[in-house]
Structure 1
Amino acid sequence: MAEDYDEWFRRGAGPLIYETETEALKRVAGKLKPGLLLDVGCGTGLFSEVFKGLGWRIMGVDYALGMASAASAKGLDVVLADGCHLPFRSNLCDSVLMFTVLEFLPCGDEALKEAFRVLKAGGSLILGVHNRVNPWNLYRRLKAKRKPSSAYKNIKYRSLAGLRVEVERFSFRLEETCSVVFHPKTLRVERFLRRRGVGIGETGSILIVRAVKPSSTFRQQP
């Protein structure tokens, strides 16, 4: 499974998709002071490495032994655990990353609560989720219905409006949003436009948001 994950980003449009996604993450991370980042659902560590290269200290978390072992082999510190029961003290991390993870979790609410708990006040939650209003994702959803083994069969796609409500419900304050990869076949055009300051709004297949844990929270978490 770990080998398949890395291989997906090495073939076809994979390298360009990875480059586009990591560029977006770098734009977000570039506004933050490096510190301790908890990568929940780190997989093989592909996206952890992006932040490590920017000066962050990384602690990866994954419940799949193969994934955790692959990330560890890349020199990353990894804990075998799931995102809904993080084995860390409260107010520990400067940032939490969950990149294409939340939508695969049956306990998404608990994962957001845990992210809030382990973040320091003023810390950032960086989410990357599959966008329900993107045409390519709609095609994936329809295709998955005919293929029971598809990884896209049981994921919970989210719109930006829905994601905003969700993170604010858990007392986060949404700070910035973007989306990337409208479709692999239009990716070069997308990147050309991006370099000229033209984005694709909320239409990309991956929504990326940064939400902040306020210094003080006045409302009770659900």
Structure 2
Amino acid sequence: MIRVLVADDEPLIRTGIRTILASADDIDVVGEAENGRDAVESARRLSVDVALLDIRMPVLDGLSALAELRRTAPSVRGLILTTFGERGNVLGALSHGGAGFLLKDSAPEELINAVRAAAAGDAYLSPPATRQVVDTFNSGAAAREEGARRRLAVLTEREREVLALLGEGLSNADTGSRLHMSEATVKTYVSRILTKLGCRNRVQAALLARDAGLEPESTT
């Protein structure tokens, strides 16, 4: 049986959640709380498996309660359930160790599935939250690529050729063989590239090449 705590400052919401979860024969709501501080204390005292936490609660908000549970009762899996689906809330829940994020307009079966997933050690994000995480990742990747491309603009065409192979993990000898250059010449190019890009080592330069999407095929 999955032991669940429901924390929300609105009694009507708590009652609705309890009713939904009561329809599942493997879930037992063992406690309720109307603020984050009580939620943390009750979750520990009642040895719950999953804590459903509203974000905006008095005394201690849901994200702070989630972090506190993570620190003092790591076995408790925290699920954020809220009407506020802003991207910052989704990422905040995940960064605080949350097991998932659900909006209060989610279907009843989605709530039940989320509790089961959390109890099993999995993460659960409602479709809107998943889209926000994907959008954030994609926008971050685009920003990294743009920044990397700007940094690579200081390189000559030959230096870009060397860096492209560096990004593929080739040694100086292999790079020289591919570009018909001596190993000593490649070493000189690598040193110059590191200086121009402000990289401490070839690994940093290689990562920068990958972020920029620089590939050997573009050098031939």
Q: TM-score, normalised by structure 2?
A: 0.36
- Structure with greater contact order relative to length (CA < 8 Å, sep ≥ 6): 1
Greater helix content: 2
Considering only CA atoms, is the larger Rg found in Structure 1 or Structure 2? Answer: 2
Give the TM-score normalised by structure 1.
0.36
